[in-house]
Amino acid sequence: MKTNDYVKYMTQTFVKYVDQPKDERKRLRLERKQSKASFWYRWFGIVPYVLYSEFKRIRKVK
């Protein structure tokens, strides 16, 4: 990607962001935050996440 193309892309992205109403930006940010995977899954994979979930479930039952 050439420098001119990159500057054009960044300018378009910035203008698109600024043109959005504030409540729209907040809504999109909240949606992105909610759709993100949990910390355990993102950093350590599925096995520790499952173990942690089971441990948490067992503690909740007792």
> Number of folded domains in the chain?
1
Strand residue runs (E) in 1-62: none
The tens digit of pLDDT for each residue in 1-48 reads: 688 999 999 999 999 999 999 999 999 999 988 888 777 677 777 888
pLDDT for residue 26: 93
pLDDT band at 50 (very low <50, low <70, confident <90, very high): confident
What is the rounded CA–CA span in Å between residue 55 and residue 62?
Answer: 11
pLDDT band at 59 (very low <50, low <70, confident <90, very high): confident
Are 42 and 52 contacting, i.e. CB atoms less than 8 angstroms apart? no
Could you tell me the residue range of the domain that residue 50 belongs to? Answer: 3-61
pTM given for the model? 0.47
